[in-house]
């Protein structure tokens, strides 16, 4: 299992923050439904426990999560 280099907790997922993206939802007056997501200037993959930025590309995030410590 991967271990966060900051908080030292074992983690199996990362939180992906995409900045500068356009996310669209359809709203019917009561509910929202996801419609589209486009673009993004940059992204970060962070520890779900402490929020530490672990990777800045999907490939880096995949490699990190494959690690067994």
Secondary structure class of 41 (helix, strand, coil): coil
pLDDT digits 0-9 by tens, 36-59: 887 778 889 999 999 999 999 999
pTM comes to 0.72
Closest CA to 11 of 47, 42, 57, 45: 47
Closest CA to 16 of 36, 46, 37: 46
- Average pLDDT of the chain is 89
Whether 20 contacts 42, CB under 8 Å: yes
């Amino acid at each position: 299992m991967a271990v966060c280099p900051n908080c030292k907790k074992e983690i199996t997922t990362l939180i992906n923050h995409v900045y500068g993206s356009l996310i669209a939802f359809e709203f019917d007056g009561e509910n929202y439904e996801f419609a589209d997501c486009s673009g993004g200037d940059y992204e970060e993959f962070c520890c779900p426990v402490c929020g530490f930025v672990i990777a800045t590309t999907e490939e880096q995030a995949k490699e990190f999560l494959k690690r067994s410590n």
